[in-house]
Each structure stands twice: as structure tokens, then as C-alpha cells.
């Protein structure tokens, strides 16, 4: 996200999204469809609930032996002829790739969809270094041509209509193309096929990496992940270190629930298991394979409050069900990872200060936790984040003062009763037709779009005393 966009405060970004009728329609259609597809996929799959528990246990067990699994993964990749790089920060990960490009004379790199490379804003860095990055996932390709950012983890261009895409292709690729997904997909196929064959480097993320076999796992529907790992002479995979899993048996547990959670498919069209560069006897495959293991703020959370967010598979299910995401879409969040899990990941990568508004962009309804394939307790962590934002004095002073007073009042019965009495008097000018409306000052924001029941004339305990009288 560019600095310009982040200078706009979150409430304004959200407000703009709410006023965008086209975005509203696209969001409703997309998220509703994803919700239905996921629901059907799990309804047909009685083993699913137990597999989710197993998947969660595997993620936790892996974290408990993370150092060991990463060592094993690195040893196996090196044994198979690959190279492993250790990047403590996003900057370092970028530098490693830029150095590889320079050393190997890379001019063009084809990319399959990867949130890890979005996270480190790799495309901008490559362009600045004179390397042409080409996104090959259709959605990513569209937003790259439009100079935008993904608005959904797995459907990056859901905010665009076919008409907008046709216009974009016509302008950027030269030609006049009908606003028909079939036609537009064919255009992209032709355009990108040539790029796959010409590119020097293929860049991917990794959905998983199996420590025991040294296998990098990519899940795609379009087949671009296969192209990118087969045709260019160098394959670079950028992976958050928490994506390691111990064994092939573990992998099967995740495969059984990942696509169902994301798109409602039993499996995505392609699951590609890559084990080293081209092996002896093979006709195809890259000469070199590089795996970049990236920390970028993750280690801090191993013993931190966001530990569970390290389980995340990046399926996007929590976005679709979130009442906030469904209203404002991905861009309004302002960072690489949107939605409920995105708030936690942003806090992990950029620090708690970056989510002082976003931490409140949740109704804590728990829908995200219900659909998460590994049952991440997102609402609990959001509450803890809010607590941290308050205790570290990151929250605005007005908010801290009001909540500070509220805490004092709530922890002392005398003060509470006094507060209720004062409230009854103070509210008088604002009660209309039995509801509190149009509160002044700081409280005005609360009643701008909703009303409140007024403080009752008598409290529950006062009424209870009356009832107790014989």
C-alpha cells in the first residue's frame, strides 16, 4: 500500500468504501458465493471437522519444534541441490532476490500468486532494479496492469467488473476486447504463455514445505504455479518460516481442508510438490532452486500474544464471513493482509501501532473463528490487541480517558450508582421518542448511525428491592 493511501485515516478509507456502490455489489456477490461454496464442501464431508482438529494440532506441534523442522527442511533442500537463504527481515529477503537477479543476469521474472512477496513489496523493488516482474495469476495480472493491490487473499481482483477488465486489457495490451470472461481469459493466456517461455526467473510463494522430504508445495487453479516452477532457469520461492510442516502424512491433512475452505473445491486443480531443481535424467525444470525462509516479525510472536496467527493457511475463509470485510473490502484495511486475520498479521509484521484503528474493525462476532480451517481464535487475539493498544498508550488520549473513567465507575458500586444518576439527568436533552440520539462531542460518533436505549429511570437493583418487599 502506498504511503499516500495510508495517510488517509482508516475511518475515511472505510467510509469511502461504503460509498462505492460498485464495490459494495462486487463484495456482496463474491463473499456470499464463497460462503456458500465452503458450506457445501464441508456439508458433504463428515471427516472435515476431525481433520480441522488434526490440522490445528499439527500446526501447534510444528511450532513447538520449529527450529528442528526448519533445520531439517534446509538440510533436505540442500541435499537435493537447492539453496536456502535466511532472511530476518523483509528488506533482507528482497535484497537476496535482487542480488540473485544481478548475479544471474535476470531481466524478466514471472510470478505465481504469493502473499509473501506482496508482504515485502517485491515487485516495486524488482522494477527499481531494472527487472521486469510479471504476475501470472489472472487476478494478480489484472491488478498489476491496473497498478493496484490485491483486495482479497485468494481472489485479488474481485473488486473489478468484466467491463473494467476489458477496458484495461484494451488499453494496456492494444486491441479491443469484449467484456466476456472467456475472451479476456484467452487474451491473458496468449499474452502470458510467451512470458513463461521467455522469463529467466520464476518466483513463487509456498503453501507448505515438508521438512522431511525437502518439498515445497504450491496450490493453484490456473496452472501458473507449474509454469513458473518448470520453465524459467531459476526458481525462487519466498516463504514465511511458519509454513513448514513435518511430513507428507501431515500434508495430506492440510490438502483435505485447504481448498474446501478457500473455494469449496475438494482439491484445487493443481497441487504441485517441488523437490529440488531439475534432477538427473529429467528433461525439464530449473537449473537452480532457491528457498528464502523469511522471519519478518514472526519469531517475536512465538512467545507472543499472536502466536496462534502463525497457524494461518491463507485460505481467505475468515474474510468472506467477516461483517466488516464484507462491507469495506480489502483495500480499506490499508495493508497487504486484509480481513480479521489480516489485522493480526499486520500487527505481527508492522507492530501494534499500525493497527490502533484496525484492531477495532471487528464486531467480535466469532464467525472468523468458526470457519477457520485450523480454528484460530481470532476474536480473542483482537481483544488482547485492544488491551495492548490501551496499556501501551497507543490509543488516542480521548478514548483512553473515557475508558479509564468507565473502568473506575464499573469497579466501584458507589461511583456506578452516582454515574447512573448523573446520566439520567444529563441524557434528558437527547432522548427523543424513547431513544438516545444525537449525543454531543466525542459521543456523537456513536449515535451518528445508530441510537441507544436511554439510562432507565430505575436500575435493576432498585426494582429488585421493591419486588423483594412483602
Partner 1 sequence: MTTRAEFLGSIRREMDKTRGLFEARSASRPADAGGAFEAVRRQMAERWPQALECFREEFERVAGVFHRVARLDEVPGVILRIAEERQAKTVLSWHPEALGLDLRGSLGPEGLSVTVAPDGDPDAATRQRHRDEAARAEIGVTGVDWALAETGTLVLVSGRGRPRSTSLLPATHVAVFDRERLLESLEQVGIMLEALHTDPARSMSGAVINFITGPSRTADIELTLTRGVHGPKEVHAIFVEGR
Residues 99-158 that bind partner 1 (CB under 8 A): 136-139, 142, 155-158
Minimum Å gap between C-beta 54 and partner 1 is 6
Which of positions 410-469 make contact with partner 1 (CB under 8 A)?
Answer: none
Alpha helix ranges (H) inside 110-244: 115-119, 122-128, 138-145, 162-169, 181-198, 224-230
Asked if residue 189 binds partner 1 (CB under 8 A), the reply is yes
Of the listed pieces 11-19, 216-224, 397-405, 431-439, which binds partner 1 according to CB under 8 A?
216-224
Asked if residue 325 binds partner 1 (CB under 8 A), the reply is no
Residue count (the chain): 470
Instruction: Provide the 10 A C-beta neighbour count for residue 77.
Output: 27
Determine which residue in the list 66, 125, 239, 378 makes contact with partner 1, applying CB under 8 A. Answer: 66
How far is CA 81 from each of CA 67, 208, 211, 257, 290, rounded to the nearest angstrom? 21, 19, 15, 31, 9
Q: Are 101 and 201 in contact (CB under 8 A)?
A: yes
Determine which residue in the list 28, 161, 363, 391 makes contact with partner 1, applying CB under 8 A. Answer: 161
Minimum Å gap between C-beta 336 and partner 1 is 18
Which of positions 225-284 make contact with partner 1 (CB under 8 A)?
Answer: 226-227, 229-231, 241, 245-253, 255-256, 263, 265-284
Which of positions 192-211 make contact with partner 1 (CB under 8 A)?
Answer: 192-193, 196-197
Q: Are 157 and 192 in contact (CB under 8 A)?
A: no
Helix pair angle (162-169, 138-145), 10° resolution? 60
Asked if residue 79 binds partner 1 (CB under 8 A), the reply is no
How far is CA 82 from each of CA 104, 229, 378, 422, rounded to the nearest angstrom? 15, 13, 36, 71
Residue number with CB closer to partner 1 (33 or 424): 33
Residue number with CB closer to partner 1 (13 or 160): 160
Which run of H or E residues covers position 40?
A: helix 21-43
Minimum Å gap between C-beta 21 and partner 1 is 16
Residue number with CB closer to partner 1 (156 or 419): 156
- How far apart, in whole angstroms, are the C-alpha atoms of residue 242 and residue 296? 11
Minimum Å gap between C-beta 256 and partner 1 is 5
Amino acid at each position: 500500500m502506498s504511503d499516500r493511501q495510508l495517510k488517509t485515516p482508516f475511518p475515511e478509507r472505510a467510509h469511502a468504501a461504503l460509498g462505492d456502490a460498485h464495490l459494495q455489489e462486487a463484495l456482496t456477490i463474491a463473499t456470499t458465493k464463497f460462503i456458500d461454496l465452503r458450506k457445501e464442501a464441508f456439508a458433504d464431508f463428515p471427516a472435515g471437522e476431525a481433520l480441522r482438529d488434526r490440522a490445528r494440532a499439527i500446526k501447534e506441534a510444528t511450532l513447538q519444534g520449529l527450529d528442528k523442522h526448519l533445520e531439517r527442511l534446509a538440510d533436505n533442500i540442500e541435499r537435493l541441490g537447492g539453496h536456502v537463504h535466511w532472511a530476518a527481515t523483509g528488506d533482507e529477503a528482497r535484497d537476496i532476490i535482487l542480488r540473485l537477479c544481478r548475479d544471474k543476469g535476470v531481466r524478466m521474472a514471472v510470478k505465481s500468486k504469493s502473499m509473501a512477496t506482496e508482504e515485502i513489496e517485491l515487485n516495486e523493488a524488482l522494477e527499481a532494479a531494472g527487472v521486469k516482474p510479471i504476475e501470472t495469476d489472472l487476478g494478480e495480472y489484472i491488478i498489476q496492469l491496473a497498478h493496484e493491490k490485491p483486495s482479497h487473499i485468494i481472489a485479488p481482483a474481485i473488486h473489478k467488473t468484466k467491463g473494467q477488465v476489458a477496458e484495461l486489457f484494451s488499453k494496456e495490451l492494444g486491441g479491443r476486447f469484449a467484456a466476456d470472461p472467456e475472451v479476456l481469459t484467452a487474451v491473458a493466456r496468449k499474452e502470458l504463455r510467451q512470458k513463461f517461455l521467455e522469463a529467466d526467473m520464476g518466483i513463487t510463494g509456498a503453501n507448505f514445505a515438508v521438512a522431511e522430504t525437502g518439498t515445497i508445495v504450491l496450490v493453484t487453479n490456473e496452472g501458473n504455479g507449474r509454469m513458473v516452477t518448470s520453465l524459467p532457469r531459476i526458481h525462487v520461492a519466498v516463504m514465511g518460516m511458519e509454513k513448514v510442516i513435518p511430513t507428507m502424512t501431515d500434508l495430506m491433512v492440510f490438502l483435505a481442508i485447504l481448498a474446501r475452505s478457500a473455494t469449496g473445491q475438494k482439491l484445487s486443480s493443481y497441487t504441485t510438490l517441488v523437490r529440488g531443481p531439475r534432477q538427473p535424467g529429467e528433461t525439464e525444470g530449473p537449473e537452480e532452486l532457491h528457498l528464502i525462509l523469511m522471519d519478518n516479525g514472526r519469531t517475536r510472536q512465538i512467545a507472543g500474544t499472536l502466536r496462534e496467527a502463525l497457524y494461518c493457511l491463507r485460505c481467505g475463509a475468515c474474510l468472506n464471513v467477516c461483517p466488516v470485510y464484507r462491507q469495506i473490502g480489502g483495500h480499506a484495511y490499508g495493508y497487504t493482509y486484509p480481513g480479521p486475520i489480516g489485522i493480526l498479521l499486520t500487527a505481527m509484521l508492522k507492530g501494534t501501532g499500525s493497527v490502533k484503528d484496525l484492531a477495532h474493525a471487528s464486531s467480535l462476532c466469532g464467525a472468523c473463528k468458526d470457519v477457520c480451517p485450523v480454528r484460530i481464535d481470532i476474536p480473542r487475539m483482537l481483544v488482547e490487541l485492544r488491551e495492548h493498544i490501551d496499556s501501551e498508550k497507543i490509543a488516542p488520549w480521548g478514548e483512553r480517558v473515557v475508558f479509564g473513567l468507565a473502568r473506575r465507575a464499573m469497579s466501584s458500586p458507589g461511583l456506578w450508582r452516582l454515574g447512573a444518576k448523573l446520566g439520567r439527568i444529563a441524557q434528558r436533552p437527547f432522548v427523543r421518542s424513547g431513544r438516545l440520539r444525537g449525543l454531543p462531542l466525542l459521543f456523537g460518533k456513536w449515535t451518528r448511525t445508530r441510537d441507544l436505549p436511554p439510562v432507565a429511570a430505575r436500575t435493576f437493583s432498585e426494582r429488585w428491592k421493591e419486588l423483594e418487599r412483602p
